[in-house]
Amino acid sequence: MFEATTILGYKGEYEGKPYAVIGGDGQVTFGNCVLKNNATKIRTLYNNHILSGFAGSTADAFSLFDMFERILESKKGDLVKSVLDFSKEWRKDKYLRKLEAMMIVLNKEHIYILSGTGDVVEPEDGKIAAIGSGGNYALSAARALDRHTNLPPKDLVENSLRIAGEICIYTNTNIKILEL
């Protein structure tokens, strides 16, 4: 687990409509020091049809983003084909296999965690994924809120990240959110 951030992705249906939301905190940490409080670690890809966020080494994360975006373009935005090709390419490259970063990518139909070792993981419940040092806190909060409230997706993600920011020293409550 990387001591760098917290990213939370959430997808499914709300009030009969499909949705996808991703959020992330703004803290950048170097060892036990905060370097920046308002970093943006989430973005949209492929003409605003895919949401993504990263945790880990910033330079490594940009390598992940670049590679994934290239594959996503070649697959005309097909998220499933893109993550599979991403994993295949990843495992062939000695340098890439050692990146210290992870990504969450999602749209309204699919959600995946992509690791710096080339793994592609679909969350067990198929709708909530979290990465980073505060990821388990945000994941736990999101599962509880999902099961026991009827919050709109954006509010669920924001509240879950706030809870993580109150517990994890590598996560703050300067939260940014994107949604489809």
Catalytic residues: 5
- Show the DSSP H helices in 9-119 as ranges: 58-74, 79-92
**E-assigned strands of 37-173?**
42-45, 50-56, 101-106, 111-115, 120-121, 128-132
Name residues whose C-beta falls within 8 Å of residue 33's C-beta, 6 or more positions apart in sequence.
Answer: none
Residue 173, C-beta contacts closer than 8 angstroms, at least 6 positions apart: 25, 161, 162, 165, 166
- Axis crossing angle, helix 135-148 with helix 153-167, rounded to the nearest 10: 140
State how far the Cα of 140 lies from the Cα of 153, in Å rounded to an integer.
15
Tell me the C-alpha distance between 82 and 23, whole Å.
22
Instruction: Specify whether the CB–CB gap between 132 and 157 falls below 8 A.
Output: no
